Structure 1
Amino acid sequence: MIHQKTNTIVIETLDKFPHKVNIKLGKILKERGMTQGDLHRLTGLRVATINELVNFKKKSLTVAHLISIMAALRIWDLRELIEIEFDEEVVDYFRSERLQMKEGFTSDMKKTLETNFERMNQ
């Protein structure tokens, strides 16, 4: 039950803070003359998993996936593989919130914390 409610909270957070995710794996493979099958053999990841990443059909990644791919492709900076951009309004909001975070949680963070705690414990 907690897992389902947690997933709902994650989805709501993603909706609340518009963003764009750019996974550059397909471009990197092409530039290096490699196939998805080559990456599969280097990492042990399923070809289907690699294909979902290349075509941005996979909505979640594990750290193990990321590290395996980065090691196989000799990438040491995650930004070379993935870019995440938030809408300008979100960036502005985050900046204002971070200024308030010097003293701990912002009022919005406290409200979110309390609301999510209640939802997860119902």
Structure 2
Amino acid sequence: MIHQKTNEIIIETLAKYPHKVNVKLGKILRARGMTQGDLHRLTGLRIATINELVHFKKKSFTVAHLISIMIALRIWDIRELIEIEFDEEVVEYFKQERAVMKRGFTEDLEKTLQANVNRMNEGK
């Protein structure tokens, strides 16, 4: 039950703060004349996992996946592999929030934290 509630919180948070994710794996493989099968053999990752990453069908992946790919492709800056860009309104909001942070939290973050804790503890 807790897992389901945390997933709901994640989905709502992602929807609340519009962003774009650009996974560049397919472009990198094409530029280097490599196939997904080549990357599979270099990393041990399933071809299906690599394909999901290339086509951004897999919305979550592990740090181990990313690091394995970076090692295989000799990438040392994760921004070569993936970019995350927030809408301009979100960036401006984040800047305002950071300017008033106390102990790492803003008033909005304090409210969010308390609301999420309450949701996760429902039904315990």
Shorter chain as normaliser: what TM range?
A: over 0.9
TM-score (structure 1 length as normaliser): 0.98
Runs of 4+ in 1 over 4 A off after TM superposition: none
Q: How many angstroms apart in 2 are the aligned matches of 1:46 and 1:53? A: 11
Deviation at 1:104, TM superposition (A): 3.4
Match for residue 104 of structure 1? 104
Q: How many angstroms apart in 2 are the aligned matches of 1:9 and 1:29? A: 34
Q: How many angstroms apart in 2 are the aligned matches of 1:40 and 1:54? A: 12
Identity %: 79
* Unaligned runs of at least 5 residues, structure 2: none
TM-score (structure 2 length as normaliser): 0.96
Indicate the SS of the match to 2:60. coil
Q: What is the aligned-residue RMSD (CA, Å)?
A: 0.8
Deviation at 1:103, TM superposition (A): 4.6
Deviation at 1:42, TM superposition (A): 0.1
How many residues matched? 122
Q: How many angstroms apart in 2 are the aligned matches of 1:108 and 1:54? A: 36
What residue identity is the alignment partner of 2:18? P
Match for residue 48 of structure 1? 48
**1:4 and 2:4 are equivalent in the alignment:** yes
Deviation at 1:102, TM superposition (A): 4.7
Q: How many angstroms apart in 2 are the aligned matches of 1:48 and 1:36? A: 9
Indicate the SS of the match to 2:21. strand
Match for residue 20 of structure 1? 20
Match for residue 73 of structure 2? 73
What residue identity is the alignment partner of 1:114? Q
Match for residue 36 of structure 2? 36
Q: How many angstroms apart in 2 are the aligned matches of 1:36 and 1:96? A: 42
* Unaligned runs of at least 5 residues, structure 1: none
For residues 62-116 of structure 1, what are the alpha-carbon distances to aligned partners after superposition, in whole Å with 9 as ceiling and x for unaligned? 0000000000000000000000000000000000011111553110000000000
Comparing 100-109 and 28-37, the one that deviates more = 100-109
